[in-house]
A and B are shown apart, each in its own frame.
Chain A
Amino acid sequence: MIEALFVLSLIVVVLAVVGIAVYNRLTMHRERTRTAFSQIDVQLERRYDLIPNLVKIAQRYLTHEQDTLTDVIAARASATQARIEVNGDPSNIDAMRNLAGADGNLGSALGRLLAVSEQYPELKADTSMATLTEEIRNTENRVSFARQAYNDETRLYETYRQSFPQTIVASATGFDPFAYLETTSDEARDRVEVTFN
């Protein structure tokens, strides 16, 4: 009887130790993923803040391209809104999907604006535009590298969370899945084309 109790308590202790280790590991992964997401958040905000400047300069030259400019402004507004809805929580899958879509739209609208601006030599010659182009390029890269870093962390977190026996600990202690932030740029572009037509 005593032996059985001893064995039982030993099993309980071992399970508890394993459970605590898994829990700590899960927490580490989750926090790293959240940190990576906050980095995207920072970069997205930076990107949305830059756009009014760009539009202001472009407006001076692109008098015949009001549609393109309006698209950019509209896309920025919806992306800003989507970002607010996510509210720094990457486990909010639906909001994350909206954000990915809105951000993709903004990316293609910006791409079109930059492509159009290539046809206006005066705009290209504007020194503040040249500076701004590099700024936007830098911001785009920052966003995409931050997204890459976030997705890498999410992959590590999800792989760990979904493996056995971590999945038991994760579901018991409320470790929610995180959504990947993929800009399926093709999809985004398609959607833009639909609105144009």
Chain B
Amino acid sequence: MDYLKLQADAKDENRNLLVVFAVVIAIVAATAAAVVTAVAWLTFVVVDLVMRANGTPIPSDVTDAALRSDLALWGLLYLIVGVIVAAVIVWVSRSREKALALFGGAGIARSIGGRRIDRDSADSAERRFVNAVEEMAIAARRPAPTVYVLDGEPGINAFNAGWTDETTAIGITSGALAELRREELQAVAAQAMSHVFHGDARLNLRLMALVTGVAGIAMIGENWMDSAMPDDENGEDEGLFVPLFVAGFMLRCVGWVGAWLSSMVQRSVARRHELLADATAVELLRQSEPVRDALRRIGGHPAKSRIRRRRARSINHLFMADAGGRRRGGLHPDLRLRVLSLDASWTGDWLRPDTSDHISPHGSEAIVRSPMPSPAVRTSTIPALEPLGPLFDAFAATASAGVLTDNQFSSGAGAGLLAPVMQATVFGAVLETTAEPEIDTARIRVLVSAIVHQAAGSTPTVATVPESCSVDDVVARLSALRRSSPVDRPKLLAGAGKVLRETGDCSAFAEAATVWLQTDTDLDQWMVGRLVVGNLVSPKPPKKRRPLERLRGEYATVLAFMAAIGGGDARIAFTVGAAKAGLIGTSPRSVSTLRVLDKALGKLAALHPDDHSRAQAGLEAAMEADGLSRNSEAEFLEVVRLSLSPD
């Protein structure tokens, strides 16, 4: 994690937030003013029309000269309403901010049942935490805040509250006191002090007040709607005052949309500042392990960071990790993302309570790792293959040596259609098995057809497919090949590509295969096509290489697809992958058609080779985000790897 950049970004963001405040207020005010002005204008036009129809028109000097044709008047109305609306938002926000700020940090801590602790506490864990807070206050060059404990909370969490350095309070759950070691307690204190350091509590308060201010417009709209309704108690038959009702309704819509927008801003700022606080905690401690381990303990604890008392959930944004409740999920970054930001080599282990044993995030569930080995493994020598007959032995020997002469090829493999069979076998192998055998067979049939088409030069029929190329034959070979180690398969596949390039016109084959494969354009066929083409035809070197940051959009498309086919929570998988690729903050792109994906992969071919491993690491992280690697995910990873153009 680049702390300096993150901090510089946060400072810029604080500056930009003022602009965001102004823009939100301006947009809401302008829209509300437009609504009110338009309704007033329409009302005037309608009234005028009705009166004309009744034969009692408004004197034309009033209608034409003064109102309808006089734009300045309507402009003035628009401006006045806009200014009033903006003033209302600012006023409501300010008074809300003042009301919230009346509670100091201590007030908030007490309101959720916090018990104050100090250095003289009889409990050694409490004393340790108070000491840790004081230490971190010294490191942050801030006065030491008062410290509270939330009794009876088994989860691991902490909060900070208060709007000035002097009135800040830091609270911790009794669960955290019991579970965390001294260094981790220090990390929690550092994290809380970082929020104080950056003034996050006050910032959050401002943003929440803004949400209230904008929502105030909606309240006014509701009020107008109420006034426009016929008043039964009066006994007078007033009827519905349509213009006021319409204006009220539209104001309400504007208000709620504005409030929703500003709450989105608030949540996104809260999430970013949580990551910033993690980074600052590392800076204060000068080491990242305690912060990382404190987060890993939260993930490994049965109660996680949940807070039992409901009142505490209303201040979820002040907590270090998600306190649970209705507004769950929006205010804190995913815990895995946070750990990963601190330690890019983290493998997903949480820390179990009481012991330092590492456990899998999925308990006893078996983790199926990617069948595609990492590039480092791929370069190792091939272990002994299972006997697959002389044909396959010859091929394997060649593949492991990396060189194939025509002589070896013909002596070991014979002539005629042996090479196509081999191709079909090897390509079939990389496709892996699916859950349904019929799909497997169908895929192989497509491959065999394509291969025979290329070898024979004509569209194959049942009669023209030779005995040795039958689907059954290939399936039989495949079942043996699949028992071989996953390490061998990509090597074999690469070897097959090499063989083809050296012995024949592989681009013709690839084209033929693609044409065949395109007859059905479902995902499965697409994947086969991509694998075949990618293995046979070296991509053309692009004219200009681009860094991953410049291809962010294309990468987001590919990563979103990987996350979507994973079966787990696609949003989390995407976020984890993006973080691993160093593109925190990228949002996923929708992949509506395979054409979109094709296009993105095509553009990604221009990725600079230095960024290849980063891009692949991101995809692997997304693949393994749910702890399971499916075959389709592994195949897709291979497709992407093949699309990236080497030097």
Contacts and interface: CB of A to CB of B under 8 A. Distances in A.
Interface of A: 36, 39, 43, 130-131, 134, 137-138, 141-142, 145-146, 148-149, 153
Contacts of B139: 145, 148-149
B141 A148 contact: no
Given A134-B131, A148-B286, A142 B124 contact: no
Contact of A141 (B124, B127, B135): B135
The 10 A-B pairs of least Cβ separation, nearest first, read A145-B139, A138-B131, A141-B135, A145-B138, A146-B138, A149-B141, A145-B135, A142-B135, A142-B138, A149-B139
Nearest to A140: B135
Given A130-B124, A134-B124, A149 B131 contact: no
A134 B135 contact: no
Contacts of B134: 138, 142
A39 B124 contact: no
Contacts of B138: 39, 43, 142, 145-146, 149
B337 interface: no
Contacts of B186: 141
Interface of B: 124, 127-128, 131-132, 134-136, 138-141, 182, 186, 284, 286
A176 to B, nearest CB: 22
Contacts of B286: 148
Nearest to B286: A148
20 contacts: A36-B141, A39-B141, A43-B138, A131-B124, A134-B127, A134-B128, A137-B182, A138-B134, A141-B132, A141-B135, A141-B186, A145-B135, A145-B138, A145-B284, A146-B138, A148-B286, A149-B138, A149-B139, A149-B140, A153-B141
A107 B79 CA distance: 70
Contacts of B128: 134
A145 B283 CA distance: 11
Contacts of B136: 145
Residue of B128, B131, B186 with most chain A CB atoms under a 10 A cut-off: B131
A141 B136 CA distance: 9
A139 to B, nearest CB: 9
A145 B137 CA distance: 9
A43 B135 CA distance: 10
Contacts of A145: 135-136, 138-139, 284
Contacts of A153: 141
A66 B124 CA distance: 30
Given A39-B141, A141-B186, 8 more contacts: A43-B138, A137-B131, A137-B182, A138-B135, A141-B132, A142-B138, A149-B138, A153-B141
A43 B136 CA distance: 13
A149 B137 CA distance: 10
B552 to A, nearest CB: 34
Contacts of A131: 124
A137 B131 CA distance: 9
B177 to A, nearest CB: 14
A54 B486 CA distance: 62
A30 to B, nearest CB: 15
Nearest to A127: B124
A57 B145 CA distance: 32
A171 to B, nearest CB: 28
A145 B219 CA distance: 51
Contacts of A39: 138, 141
Nearest to B136: A145
Contacts of A137: 131, 182
A134 B120 CA distance: 12
Nearest to A135: B131
A130 B123 CA distance: 12
A145 B127 CA distance: 18
A109 to B, nearest CB: 22
B195 to A, nearest CB: 18
A153 B140 CA distance: 11
B190 to A, nearest CB: 10
A72 B131 CA distance: 24
A65 B140 CA distance: 39
B138 to A, nearest CB: 5
Nearest to B186: A141
Contacts of B141: 36, 39, 149, 153
Residue of A36, A131, A145 with most chain B CB atoms under a 10 A cut-off: A145
Contacts of B284: 145
A146 B132 CA distance: 13
A41 to B, nearest CB: 12
Contacts of A134: 124, 127-128, 131
A146 B141 CA distance: 8
Contacts of B124: 130-131, 134
B289 to A, nearest CB: 16
A163 to B, nearest CB: 18
A141 B130 CA distance: 13
A118 to B, nearest CB: 16
Residue of B127, B132, B134, B139 with most chain A CB atoms under a 10 A cut-off: B139
A191 B272 CA distance: 47
A43 B144 CA distance: 14
A138 B124 CA distance: 13
Residue of A36, A130, A134 with most chain B CB atoms under a 10 A cut-off: A134
A129 to B, nearest CB: 13
A127 B128 CA distance: 15
A181 to B, nearest CB: 14
Contacts of A149: 138-141
Nearest to B137: A145
A148 B141 CA distance: 10
A44 to B, nearest CB: 12
Contacts of A142: 134-135, 138
